[in-house]
Amino acid sequence: MFMVLMVHLHLPCVLLNFILFLILVVLCTLSDCYDPLDPNGNISVTFDIYQRTQDGYLARVTLENYYQYRHVDKPGWQLGWQWANDEVIWSINGAVATDQGNCSSYTSQLPHSCKKDPLIVDLPADVSPESRSEHCCNGGILSARAINPLSSFTLFELEVRNLGQYPLGQAPNNLTLLAPGPGYTCSPLLQTDPTVISSFNGQRQVPALRTWKSACTYSNFMANKSPICCVSLSTFYNPMITPCPDCSCGCSEADKASKSCIRLGNTLSEENIIACTKHMCPIRVHWHVKNNYVTHWRVKLTISNYNYRSNYSNWNVLLQHPAFSQNATSYSFNTAKLPLAFQDGVSLFWGIDYYNTELVHSDKDQQGFVSTEILLEKDPKSFTLSNGWAFPRRVYFNGENCEMPLPDTFPMLPNHTNTLRPPNIILLIISLFCFWTKASFHFQ
């Protein structure tokens, strides 16, 4: 009897522990999906049924990137789902299903895809006009919202048939998004207020017959990616350079003589061959405090690519620092402030078209990099060179958080440094020289 009681008591405890574990995992995942620098960021998927047909319906699927600084790069997005019943994609424009599936039950005309779980990809920009749809076909690339809102969305149109007992159609299930790799989790497609679709060059507004929406959010935890970038620091007032933390993105191989390394934890491919460094990051962001003026101060920002064979197209860097709450001028990068409710300002930097949008790879003789100088306006109430204030709080490259050095390794002001600002020291020296000259002349 006692043993039976123990079994009955033990089983709920095990179940309770399992439930608590699941809750913990979910909470960790949700917190990782939330980005305080981009709280409303997501890629939304909208499924609009805009016309009924005799055997089904015509639908328009729209992908919109609401991430301010995370873009979808090559080889592009892949959108998948599972049909609720036995639907088939009869035809499609502006995208293509990667697998036709088993269409043996059709004899005369074959559907575009009979897969229960089709996978849809974008078409290249040079696709023929008959395969295009409006706002489609950019090779799967979606720009970040703050950089280029006009190319941050895409859409494709499809005809769906074989609805069975549900002539009004049912929302697809298990939406998945690769953009281009894993890391995105999509909510269920839920019915919302119908999308209003423009026709006749915007002169007529027609609501969709039915609209389903989903939001896909990115999580580093779900992507299971190792870091790709790190930060190093230097200043004009201290010869010491704070390097990236050792093993920021993995540890180098034992062979110290080798100039090229393969990042640990990745498969052997061209994009994983990088220069051997102590940090082993493909990207290093270097922040150098260059000058200190009366009303402004100057920083040089350098982004280095340690990959030997991979370039970064349409790269961007996000920096969080209180000085970006003031006016800032970037001389070789585009820049924009993100409107966030933070005490520290947040600025986004990216390349200038036809000049430096391509961050080229390194080779054994030359390092690939882009750089700019940034002139920052001083806030007399907060500006200081003490205690590491002049260094960024957070750095992101292409939406990925970069590994920062520990604060106790930051370049510090020399102990004998005067509290006066450099221009004031110069004025004081000039004044003392003039006084000494005048006094000498007087005694003569």
What pLDDT, on a 0 to 100 scale, did the predictor assign at position 7?
37
Q: Where are the domains of the chain?
A: 43-221, 224-252+271-409
Q: How many other CB atoms sit within 10 Å of the CB of residue 125?
A: 11
- Contact call for residues 301 and 267 (beta carbons, < 8 A): no
Which amino acid does the sequence have at 184?
Y
What pLDDT, on a 0 to 100 scale, did the predictor assign at position 81?
98
What pLDDT, on a 0 to 100 scale, did the predictor assign at position 409?
95
Phi, psi of 76 (to 5 degrees): 100, 175
CATH 2.60.40.290, domain 224-252+271-409, yes or no = yes
What pLDDT, on a 0 to 100 scale, did the predictor assign at position 240?
93
Please state which architecture CATH assigns to domain 43-221: Sandwich (2.60)
Q: How many other CB atoms sit within 10 Å of the CB of residue 195?
A: 18
* Cis amide leading into 407 (omega within 30): no
What pLDDT, on a 0 to 100 scale, did the predictor assign at position 271?
55
Q: If we measure between CA atoms, which residue out of 169, 163, 201, 196 comes closest to residue 62? A: 196
Task: Report CA torsion sign: 284, 414, 393, 235.
Answer: negative
- Per residue of the chain (444 residues), what is the pLDDT tens digit? 444 434 343 444 444 444 433 443 444 444 456 678 888 899 999 999 999 998 999 999 999 999 999 999 999 999 999 999 999 999 999 999 999 999 999 988 999 999 999 999 999 999 999 899 988 999 999 999 999 999 999 999 999 999 988 888 999 999 999 998 899 999 999 999 999 987 777 788 999 999 999 999 999 888 877 899 999 999 999 999 999 999 999 887 666 667 788 875 444 444 578 998 999 999 999 999 999 999 999 999 999 999 998 899 999 999 999 999 999 999 999 999 987 655 679 999 999 999 999 999 998 788 999 999 999 999 999 999 999 999 999 999 999 999 999 999 999 998 754 443 444 444 445 555 554 554 444 444
Cα separation, 245 vs 230, in Å, equals 8
What pLDDT, on a 0 to 100 scale, did the predictor assign at position 89?
98
- Contact call for residues 218 and 180 (beta carbons, < 8 A): no
pTM of the model: 0.82
What pLDDT, on a 0 to 100 scale, did the predictor assign at position 416?
53
Which amino acid does the sequence have at 373?
E
What pLDDT, on a 0 to 100 scale, did the predictor assign at position 331?
97
Q: If we measure between CA atoms, which residue out of 116, 148, 424 comes closest to residue 294? A: 424
Q: If we measure between CA atoms, which residue out of 316, 424, 324 comes closest to residue 375? A: 324
Q: Which two tokens stand for residue 63?
A: 């992908």
What pLDDT, on a 0 to 100 scale, did the predictor assign at position 267?
45
Cα separation, 33 vs 41, in Å, equals 9
Tell me whether the CATH fold assigned to 43-221 matches the one assigned to 224-252+271-409: yes
